[in-house]
A and B are shown apart, each in its own frame.
Chain A
Amino acid sequence: MSTANTFRSGPDEGGHFDLFGGRFVAETLMPLVLDLERAWNEARTDPGFAAELDHFLAHYAGRPSPLYFAERLTQELGGAKIYFKRDELNHTGSHKINNCLGQILLARRMGKKRIIAETGAGQHGVATATVCARFDLDCTIYMGEIDIERQQPNVFRMKLLGAKVVPVGSGSATLKDAMNEALRDWVASVETTYYLIGTAAGPHPYPAMVRDFQSVIGRETRDQLDAAEGRGPDTLVACIGGGSNAIGLFHTFLDEPEVEMFAVEAAGEGIETGRHAASITAGAPGVLHGNRTYLLQDDDGQITEAHSISAGLDYPGIGPEHAWLHDQGRVNYVSATDAEALAAFKLCSELEGIIPALEPAHALAHVIRHCPGLARDHLVVMNLCGRGDKDVFSVARHLGVEL
């Protein structure tokens, strides 16, 4: 494969990042997917749309999120200078609101009255329920039964916000099955319903659209680091399930070869155990949920179950742009185990007074491994994409603490 001369021009008209991406959906959905693409192309070039989105990002979500120098963690690790991009301080507690605000404004432009979404950790479900409440739209969230069990606080939050939470018991009863069920709903309700996908995956135009809405993370990081240090980052680190927070941080910097990037997959109980969610590290290209990407699958092309302590990373695939960036060698895809993420979760709480979500705790686990050997003027930015309130019960359980 040839190396691209820019990493920021994809996808092509058909939604392909070379081999990856595309529009692999049932015929019933194709006219909808094409409609959405038209609406998105109009909206993205409309200054009125951008102004409206900026207004809500600033006054409702609380952007820009701070870029915070993690001084004690930096001292503890004794290497690179570590910054956190604090997207956990956004309204609803994660980066998911960036995309939800963008898509809800688009759904309104399209005249849709009903919103459906899938959720794993519940962060995207909460963000979706939030914007539906704010804009008075009917909201149905599909969530795997196992995820409902381990993310009770978010389930309650969604219900408080007026959403209907539908438990999904099929398959592995986690994020992939919630996405199957949301797609089944969409096929049956195409006329009225907008499917608000929460990660940078699915049929074109979702991966590119979600990336564009999340790229505000990287743009702010550039300005904020420039103000603090007078220069750009050396290393970017983000956790990756579907990959929306990672592509949001990375995309702005992709054409700057001096910026190294790490995306951290969930290694669960360890790659060698087979109980993990590391699609790039241990998967193969395949087609699921509307796009071609790296998938956890067996020799017969059956999708295998993903495992992670973090419900938000518990997905057997990854966004197609990441699959492509991996093949291009532009981004390093690494992994962290449940145990490493838990250790990072505790360390961050103790040293910085910030309880991170288990998802970015995986990114932090890589920061802990990677940073000690680096020079003291090496600038690392880690996307702290969600807060850990939702995880305290499940972490307590893993640590054997009774609440």
Chain B
Amino acid sequence: MSAGAALDRIHERFMALRAEGRAGLVTFVTAGDPDFETSSEILAGLPQAGADLIEIGMPFSDPMADGPAIQASSLRALGAGQNMAKTLDLVRRFRAVDATTPLVLMGYYNPIYRYGNLTFLDDAKSAGVDGLIIVDLPPEEDSELCLPARDAGLHFIRLATPTTDEARLAKVLTNSSGFIYYVSITGITGTRSARPGDVGERIAALRVATELPIAVGFGIKTPDQAAAIARIADAAVVGSALVERIGDGLDAERRPGANLVAETLSLVKQLAAGVRGARHSEAATG
């Protein structure tokens, strides 16, 4: 099994987006937030609401690169009994009804390491996962999981940041596949927002160095912000705003309210409308 041979959902999806002349919407939600069943319902509704690619957060007790919104979502999921086995169950459920939307698992290394790297890669691949984003595995530690993941037919998607200079970028790109996730700010998730002008310059520099599609995330919260990014990148990633919406949908006893799923998917629809309404500028079509 290799990522290219049989079925490469990430590649197919970005090719289709390019053919449509638009950028994609990447949505992030934490697996099991606020509980397993509600989370499964949200995931099932995401493609219809306009998500082109789905990132599923693997909850971790100590999410060091995340802001308060994703920290809280991680704790809600863990509090409701989420674990790695159940996260893979969520993926299987999703795949049973959706064979084409790309799924990427995102999170921190320790829960994977504890599960067992090779077992995890086998189980994730057979559940229907397409790629991994592991925040605390820089290229210096590629032998840990990146190279085995590539061997197992999973994309290893790397983050590039404003602190990634040219020399470093080559290293970041070396074993990257699927797409590049450009972190638009120096900071944690869900805090500040970047200026589209600054991001545009960085994307132009990235395009010189790689042919991989470029998704931009961190600090995108509104349909307008998503649209601004969609004009210059291949995809806009929204995470904190969605998990905040999930948190807002809890009732006084911290149980999911009747409108939680609908409200969350409604935000996805608005974001998707923003992204779909934004045409690519010349610089971005590459």
| Residues B186 and A180 in contact, CB atoms below 8 Å apart | no
**Minimum Cβ distance to chain A for residue B87 (Å):** 10
**Minimum Cβ distance to chain A for residue B155 (Å):** 17
Q: With contacts A31-B163, A188-B186, A288-B110 known, is A26 near B168, CB below 8 A? A: no
26 contacts between A and B (CB under 8 A): A14-B140, A22-B140, A23-B138, A23-B140, A24-B138, A24-B141, A25-B138, A26-B161, A28-B161, A30-B138, A170-B71, A171-B62, A176-B62, A180-B63, A188-B185, A284-B114, A286-B110, A287-B113, A287-B136, A289-B64, A297-B114, A301-B110, A301-B113, A301-B115, A302-B61, A303-B62
- Closest-by-CB residue of B relative to A189 is B186
| Residues B136 and A26 in contact, CB atoms below 8 Å apart | yes
Residues of chain A at interface, number, CB under 8 A: 39
Partner of B64, one of A31, A180, A299: A180
Q: Is A166 an interface residue (CB 8 A)?
A: no
Closest 8 CB pairs of A and B: A301-B114, A301-B111, A188-B187, A300-B83, A302-B61, A28-B161, A301-B110, A26-B65
Complex formed: what's the CA distance from A118 to B62 in Å?
15
**Minimum Cβ distance to chain B for residue A114 (Å):** 14
Partner of A171, one of B61, B84, B165: B61
Task: List B contacts of A290 (CB < 8 A).
Answer: 136
Complex formed: what's the CA distance from A304 to B62 in Å?
10
Partner of B62, one of A26, A288, A299, A300: A288
Q: Which A residues contact B (CB, under 8 angstroms)?
A: 14, 22-32, 170-171, 176-177, 180, 183-184, 187-191, 284-290, 295, 297, 299-304
The bracket for how many chain B residues form the interface is 35 or more
| Residues A286 and B113 in contact, CB atoms below 8 Å apart | yes
- Closest-by-CB residue of B relative to A303 is B61
Q: In the complex, which of the residues A30, A177, A284, A286 has the most CB atoms of chain B within 10 Å of its own CB atom?
A: A30
Partner of B191, one of A24, A177, A188, A302: A188
| Residues A299 and B159 in contact, CB atoms below 8 Å apart | no
Task: List A contacts of B136 (CB < 8 A).
Answer: 24-26, 287, 290
| Residues B109 and A27 in contact, CB atoms below 8 Å apart | no
Q: With contacts A27-B161, A301-B112 known, is A190 near B186, CB below 8 A? A: yes
Complex formed: what's the CA distance from A304 to B185 in Å?
31
Task: List B contacts of A25 (CB < 8 A).
Answer: 136, 138
Could you give, for residues 43-81 of chain B, a 1 whenever the CB lies within 8 Å of some chain A CB and a 0 otherwise? Answer: 000000000000000001111111100010000001000
Complex formed: what's the CA distance from A391 to B188 in Å?
35
- Closest-by-CB residue of A relative to B60 is A302
Task: List A contacts of B42 (CB < 8 A).
Answer: none
Task: List A contacts of B135 (CB < 8 A).
Answer: 26
| Residues B161 and A180 in contact, CB atoms below 8 Å apart | no
**Minimum Cβ distance to chain B for residue A231 (Å):** 44
Complex formed: what's the CA distance from A265 to B97 in Å?
51
Task: List A contacts of B140 (CB < 8 A).
Answer: 14, 22-23, 30
Complex formed: what's the CA distance from A206 to B129 in Å?
36
- Closest-by-CB residue of A relative to B109 is A287
Q: Is B137 an interface residue (CB 8 A)?
A: yes
Partner of A32, one of B115, B160, B163, B172: B163
Q: With contacts A26-B64, A171-B61, A188-B187 known, is A31 near B164, CB below 8 A? A: yes
Complex formed: what's the CA distance from A247 to B8 in Å?
49
| Residues A31 and B114 in contact, CB atoms below 8 Å apart | no
Complex formed: what's the CA distance from A217 to B84 in Å?
44
Complex formed: what's the CA distance from A288 to B63 in Å?
10
**Minimum Cβ distance to chain B for residue A110 (Å):** 15
Q: Is B183 an interface residue (CB 8 A)?
A: yes
**Minimum Cβ distance to chain B for residue A279 (Å):** 14
Complex formed: what's the CA distance from A178 to B4 in Å?
43
| Residues B168 and A303 in contact, CB atoms below 8 Å apart | no
| Residues B164 and A24 in contact, CB atoms below 8 Å apart | no
Task: List A contacts of B162 (CB < 8 A).
Answer: 28
Q: Is B158 an interface residue (CB 8 A)?
A: yes
Interfacial residues of chain B within 103-119, with CB under 8 A of chain A in the complex: 108-115
Complex formed: what's the CA distance from A349 to B113 in Å?
45
Partner of B159, one of A14, A26, A284, A301: A26
**Minimum Cβ distance to chain B for residue A320 (Å):** 13
**Minimum Cβ distance to chain A for residue B215 (Å):** 14
**Minimum Cβ distance to chain A for residue B145 (Å):** 10
- Closest-by-CB residue of B relative to A15 is B140
Could you give, for residues 179-217 of chain B, a 1 whenever the CB lies within 8 Å of some chain A CB and a 0 otherwise? Answer: 000010111100110000000000000000000000000
Task: List A contacts of B112 (CB < 8 A).
Answer: 301
Complex formed: what's the CA distance from A241 to B276 in Å?
53
Task: List B contacts of A187 (CB < 8 A).
Answer: 65, 186-188
Complex formed: what's the CA distance from A32 to B66 in Å?
19
**Minimum Cβ distance to chain B for residue A175 (Å):** 12
Given A26-B138, A287-B109, 5 more A-B residue pairs with CB atoms under 8 Å apart are: A30-B168, A31-B164, A171-B62, A284-B114, A297-B110
Complex formed: what's the CA distance from A8 to B236 in Å?
49
Task: List A contacts of B158 (CB < 8 A).
Answer: 27
Complex formed: what's the CA distance from A23 to B142 in Å?
11
Task: List A contacts of B108 (CB < 8 A).
Answer: 287
Task: List B contacts of A289 (CB < 8 A).
Answer: 62, 64
**Minimum Cβ distance to chain A for residue B76 (Å):** 13
**Minimum Cβ distance to chain B for residue A98 (Å):** 27
**Minimum Cβ distance to chain B for residue A35 (Å):** 10
Q: In the complex, which of the residues A28, A284, A286, A289 has the most CB atoms of chain B within 10 Å of its own CB atom?
A: A28
Q: With contacts A188-B191, A297-B110 known, is A31 near B186, CB below 8 A? A: no
Complex formed: what's the CA distance from A97 to B83 in Å?
41
- Closest-by-CB residue of A relative to B185 is A188
Task: List A contacts of B66 (CB < 8 A).
Answer: 184
Partner of A287, one of B78, B110, B159: B110
Complex formed: what's the CA distance from A188 to B163 in Å?
11
Complex formed: what's the CA distance from A85 to B83 in Å?
46
- Closest-by-CB residue of A relative to B164 is A27
| Residues B110 and A303 in contact, CB atoms below 8 Å apart | yes
**Minimum Cβ distance to chain B for residue A290 (Å):** 8
Complex formed: what's the CA distance from A288 to B113 in Å?
11
Complex formed: what's the CA distance from A180 to B161 in Å?
20
Complex formed: what's the CA distance from A239 to B137 in Å?
31
**Minimum Cβ distance to chain A for residue B202 (Å):** 13
Complex formed: what's the CA distance from A157 to B158 in Å?
43
